[in-house]
Amino acid sequence: MTKDIDMCLGPGWPPVATAERTQNEDVCGQDHTPYRIPFSIDRSTPPWFRLVHIGDESVRGVTLFELDAVDGVVASTAPCRLLPGQAMPFSVRSQNPARGTVVIVRWFRPSGAEYVWRVSF
């Protein structure tokens, strides 16, 4: 059975800490250091909202997708770059956002790592 597991997971499973691997790095080299979402949502003027970049590094490929439980994908934005302190305005087009509307925020860190954040209304 161990041979079958090695074929599936590769020899050396389970991973062990090595000098080449950091404490937060998995066997595939992915860094799992905790990362705070670098955005907040300004909800002061509905149906217009602002995605505010509160982080300390620029992010690229920032895209918003509005999903509605009834209508599916209602809207999306073109990818953009946000520097710390910048904001991206967007509107929620759903007739009743409190009943099943979410916005999915997608972005890339300078390292190229992709992240997504689900925002409920």
Give the number of domains in the chain: 2
Calculate what percentage of the chain has a pLDDT beyond 70.
Answer: 74
Q: How far apart are CA 6 and CA 61, in angstroms?
A: 38
Q: Which domain holds residue 53?
A: 35-120
Q: How far apart are CA 11 and CA 7, in angstroms?
A: 7
Give the pLDDT band (50/70/90) at residue 21. Answer: low
| 69 shares a domain with 107 | yes
CATH number at residue 68: 2.60.40
| 101 shares a domain with 71 | yes
Give the model confidence (pLDDT) of 55-91 as tens digits: 999 999 999 999 988 877 788 899 999 999 999 999 9
| 85 shares a domain with 50 | yes
| 91 shares a domain with 44 | yes
| 81 shares a domain with 59 | yes
Q: Which two tokens stand for residue 114?
A: 């992709």
| 84 shares a domain with 65 | yes
| 45 shares a domain with 16 | no
Give the pLDDT band (50/70/90) at residue 49. Answer: very high
What is the CB neighbour count within 10 angstroms for residue 108?
Answer: 16
Please give the model's pTM, rounded to 2 decimal places.
0.72
Give the pLDDT band (50/70/90) at residue 18. Answer: very low
| 102 shares a domain with 45 | yes
What sign does the dihedral 13-16-21-26 (CA atoms) show?
A: positive
